[in-house]
Amino acid sequence: MSGRLKYSTHACIGLIPAFLLGSQVFSEQTFEIELDAPVHDRWFYPFNGNAGERPLASTFTAFGSEFDFFDDRDGQVLLGFETQTVVPSGMEPGAYRITSGRITLMIESDDIIYDPTPDPWQTFQIDGPADEDPGRANIVSGVAFRDGFDGWSFGESGPYGNVDIGGRNAYPIDFDSDGAAFDISNSLTEGYQPNPFGIGLTPDVPAGEIMPALTKLTFELDVLDPDIQCYLRRGLDDGLLSFLVTSLHASSQQGSGGEPYPDWVMKENSLVFFDIADAAGLELEVVLADPRGDGGDINGDGSTDVTDLLLVISDWGCTCCLSDINDDGRTDVTDLLGVISDWGN
């Protein structure tokens, strides 16, 4: 990392009591991670010529504008946190369990109303119901990529993609009932309410009031959601966690002057250099278990037996668990049959 960036990591590693299921024993380690800056951050907007070098990045919507080639979530903030320096990567997703997590991001604007609750998509429609509270919420989501990119290859310099609806090469996601990721960039046009990974909150400002400049918002990650848990596990296994921050504040593209929209502090900001402001941060508590053994040997004790069978039953329906021995994303009957077919090996 550049010497001008505040970037530090902290990991507390210690053995925790073994997890028991029948005669099965797992040894585990717990990691408390604090990353004070992302390895990359960028304003993800179609006409941003210096994506990874801007001191500020804005979030806003183009919904209702006269242009028909902008996503609803037009201005976005892409964050990437390298975790492999503090948590071993490549252990397979099911070996990780995230017990808590949060992202922090500081707002540079001094004219944004604090809204801790996402507004129903209908309140954005011309003939829809009125928004019951002032302001618009800020949310964080996971990221998926197009055109063969991933978080590592896209980074701060990857090409935006096609300037058209659904054309961007990185996009915020939600999950369908089968756990498949889908693009939420146009949730207003398509008429649905996405499930965010986290909502920007602060204890320092009452809801409905203006946030002072350099207010820090905390996005608590919903680690109890199985699809979000799986996303985080896969990111830790890869060594990089990517997120997109979006909001639905109206931009001036709507032709009516729009409204104030958030400007977020990026790691290149001079205020970060002088320790006046903070770059985006990530905190996670992660429990890391022993990796799975071969075949149906889920607990890695060298044989496939009743303890592995009990693990499958205990984890039934789980996404990204060690008991998902065929790696199709969910523990189910195929994994149960896999243990039975490998019995005694």
**Counting beta carbons within 10 angstroms of the beta carbon of residue 213, is it exposed (0 to 12), middle (13 to 18) or buried (19 or more)?**
middle
CA angle 84, 89, 90 (to 5 degrees): 155
Q: For 215-271, how does the pLDDT look when each residue is reduced to its tens digit (9 = 90+)?
A: 999 999 999 999 999 999 999 999 999 999 999 998 865 444 567 999 999 999 999
Query: Do residues 308 and 195 both lie within one domain?
Result: no
Query: Do residues 201 and 325 both lie within one domain?
Result: no
Q: Is the pLDDT of residue 315 over 90?
A: no
Is 50 inside any structural domain? Answer: yes
Is 169 inside any structural domain? Answer: yes
Q: Which two tokens stand for residue 295?
A: 């075949």
Query: Do residues 322 and 208 both lie within one domain?
Result: no
Query: Do residues 120 and 34 both lie within one domain?
Result: yes
Q: Which of 273, 288, 303 is the last residue of a domain?
A: 288
Q: For residues 5 and 286, which has the higher predicted lDDT (pLDDT)? A: 286
Query: Do residues 311 and 176 both lie within one domain?
Result: no
Query: Do residues 302 and 267 both lie within one domain?
Result: no
Looking at residue 152, its amino acid is W
* Residue 304 lies in domain: 293-341
At 258 the pLDDT is 63
CATH of the domain at 304: 1.10.1330.10
Q: Is the pLDDT of residue 208 over 90?
A: yes
Query: Do residues 238 and 303 both lie within one domain?
Result: no
Distance CA 56, CA 110 (A): 14
Q: For 117-160, how does the pLDDT look when each residue is reduced to its tens digit (9 = 90+)?
A: 999 999 999 889 999 899 999 999 999 999 999 999 999 999 99
Query: Do residues 145 and 194 both lie within one domain?
Result: yes
Q: For 235-250, how does the pLDDT look when each residue is reduced to its tens digit (9 = 90+)?
A: 999 999 999 999 999 8
At 273 the pLDDT is 96
Q: Is the pLDDT of residue 107 over 90?
A: yes
Distance between the two ends of the chain, CA-based, in angstroms?
47
Is 3 inside any structural domain? Answer: no
Q: How confident is the model at residue 5 (pLDDT cuts 50, 70, 90)?
A: very low
| pTM for the full predicted model | 0.87
Query: Do residues 21 and 144 both lie within one domain?
Result: yes
Give me the number of domains the chain comprises: 2
At 253 the pLDDT is 53
Q: For 17-64, how does the pLDDT look when each residue is reduced to its tens digit (9 = 90+)?
A: 333 333 334 578 999 999 999 999 999 998 886 677 899 999 999 998
Is 271 inside any structural domain? Answer: yes
Query: Do residues 282 and 197 both lie within one domain?
Result: yes
Query: Do residues 284 and 309 both lie within one domain?
Result: no
At 291 the pLDDT is 75
Distance CA 212, CA 267 (A): 20
User: Which residues does 127 contact at the CB level (< 8 Å), separation at least 6?
Assistant: none
Strands (E), the chain: 9-21, 24-35, 40-44, 56-58, 60-61, 73-82, 96-107, 112-113, 138-145, 170-175, 181-183, 198-201, 210-211, 215-220, 240-247, 263-265, 281-289
At 321 the pLDDT is 81
Mean per-residue pLDDT, 179-198? 96
Beta strand 40-44 with 73-82: parallel, antiparallel or unpaired? antiparallel
Query: Taking the mean position of all CA atoms in its chain, how far away is CA 282?
Result: 10
Query: Do residues 159 and 281 both lie within one domain?
Result: yes
Q: Which of 288, 307, 332 is the last residue of a domain?
A: 288
